[in-house]
Every structure is written in C-alpha cells, then in structure tokens.
Amino acid sequence: MRLSKEQIDRYQEDGFLLVESALDGREVQRLREAFRRDCDVPGPQRVVEDDSDEVRAVYASHHRQPEFAGLLRDPRILEPVRQLLVDEVYVYQFKINAKPAFGGERWSWHQDYVAWRIADALPAPHQVTVGVFLDDVDEFNGPVIFVPGSHRAGLLREDRREGTAKSDQHLDPDDIALTPRQLSALVSEHGMVSPKGPAGSVVFFSPEIVHGSALNMSPFDRRLLLVTYNDAANLPSWPGEPRPEYVVCQDTTPLRTLGAPFLDTLEGAAL
C-alpha cells in the first residue's frame, strides 16, 4: 500500500491519518488470538490497571508472537511509514493497550515525544506511530482523541511528575499529562477528532500530536496495537543504562518490508 500525495499532505497538516479497513477480518482474528496468548505471559512487560488486575497494556509482543513480528514488516504498514518518515526505520516501541469493556481506564492528554525525550534522550521527534484497531472503534469504547495540528505546537512539557510514577521503567501519560489550561487553549484553536472505524483500520500519528482517551464504560473491548517506528539515524543518546528491551527495542537494524501480507508469509513459513 502506498499513500497518495493527498494522504501524505493530510498527515503533515493534521498530525494523523486514518486508513479504514487496511487489514481484513481473518487477520484481525489472528492478531486477537496472539494478543490473548501474550496476555498470559508473566513479566514486567504486562502492565495492570491501578485499581484492578485487568491488563492495561502489554509491551513488546512482537518478540514473543510471530503474528506481530510479521505485521510490523507488512507492506500495508511499513511502506506508508517510510513515506511519512524516512526509508530506514526500526521499531522503537511496541505495545497493545487493552482497554477492556466495563473497565478500561483513561489515557491522559499527552505528547509521546515528551516521554521519549525524558526517558531515553531521544534526539528528535523523528517517529511515526501506527495504531491498529483490534476491535471496532466507536464513540462509546474510548477512542483515541487527537487535537489536529497540535503536533506543530512544539514540546508542551519538559519534565515528568515527581514522586508518583506508576513504574520505574515506562512512563504513563499521567506522568507527563498536559494541564487543563494548555488543553483548553489548544482545543479552542484546533478542535478535537477521534478516528473511528471497523477493526483492521489503521491510524498513523505524529510523536508530537496531543492525544488521550476516555475510559471504556461500554460493553465492548477496545484493544489498540501501537507500533512506534524511529528514524534509524536518530538513536537514543541516554548516557546511562538504556531502558529495558521490552520498553525500548535495542535492535536498530533498518527493517525490510515483507513481499506479501503478514499471514501469507507466516503460513508460507509453516509449510
């Protein structure tokens, strides 16, 4: 899949771009099964909600489940990323936010690049994140809300909240949340948009765009897979120990695109 010039222009203008139904139902089914398996793997990569033992997020599933390892090299995902960013990219971070029915909590308003600058001294915001809808997303199950154009507002916060961090390793958006005053100003200028669509839809977004999402009180899960690609010439320059491999991938070898959709490649390999 190649993006048109119009789609690229829209991404540059708005800071995000939705492509509906990029993956089909069978593919989504396989990704859900892989996620279910991965939720049973104990370890620090599995993050639970504050007030329950429901899974909030799982990191680095592509290291354990071949479906995800394939998906991130799928031409429908990796080719657009190269068009939007640069030819040589690798996966910086991979996570799945579970947001289950009747309990998935909110994700506070934030800019992703703020986290990566603080935690990894990532030199520049040369990333693209791809969100893959593992469920139908509507206004009820806690869609991600973007402030279109806010990726051009610069870095809106430089530090993380002291003393109340949920984890030593990953940052929760709560740790770098923007203030109500900042949000009000941005939203009065730009408004808000929440891309919705069937499972298998894909949203590309900028590391600087302001985004967040409300809790899910609907009877429908909203599992969202998020792959962040980084420019291979923009490596973290943190002077100390890097964060663990599950939060920030250390393999910075530029990725090669698969010649076919990921399931074909997976099934071909199994023959």
Q: Verify binding: residue 97, ligand SIN, rule CB under 6 A.
A: yes
DSSP state of 83: H
Q: How far is the CB of 151 from ligand SIN (least distance, A)?
A: 13
* Distance linking the first and last C-alpha atoms of the chain: 26
Smallest distance, Å, CB 203 to ligand HL5? 13
Residues paired with residue 129 on neighbouring β-strands, in sequence order: 205, 228
CA-closest candidate to residue 74, choices 227, 258, 224 = 258
**Residue 65 interacts with which of ligand HL5, ligand SIN, Mn ion, none, CB < 5 to 8 Å by class:** none
Q: How far is the CB of 107 from ligand SIN (least distance, A)?
A: 4
Q: DSSP E strands: which ranges in the chain? A: 16-19, 46-48, 55-59, 89-97, 107-110, 127-133, 144-146, 202-205, 211-213, 224-231
Rounded to a whole number of angstroms, the minimum distance from the CB of residue 75 to ligand HL5 is 25
> CB of residue 147 vs ligand HL5: minimum separation in angstroms?
15
Closest C-alpha among 42, 37, 54, 62 to residue 99: 54
Distance CA 209, CA 172 (A): 16
| Tokens linked to 79 | 């080719």
Contact between 109 and ligand SIN by CB under 6 A: the answer reads no
Residue closer to ligand SIN, measured from CB, 60 or 226: 226
96: nearest Cα among 127, 71, 123: 71
Which residues does residue 18 pair with via DSSP β-bridges, in sequence order?
203
Q: Is 35 in the site for ligand SIN (CB under 6 A)?
A: no
Options 224, 225, 247, 248; binder of ligand SIN; rule CB under 6 A: 224
| Interface with ligand HL5 (CB under 6 A), residue from 112, 135, 208, 231 | 112
Among 141, 266, 263, which residue's Cα sits nearest to residue 199?
Answer: 141
Judged by the rule CB under 5 A, the positions of this chain that interact with Mn ion are 112
Structure-token pair, residue 179: 């203030």
- Which residues in the 167-186 window bind ligand HL5 by CB under 6 A? 170-171, 173
Report the interface residues with ligand SIN, using CB under 6 A. 97, 107, 144, 173, 211, 213, 224, 226
Which residues are near ligand HL5 by CB under 6 A? 93, 110, 112, 115-116, 119, 170-171, 173, 247
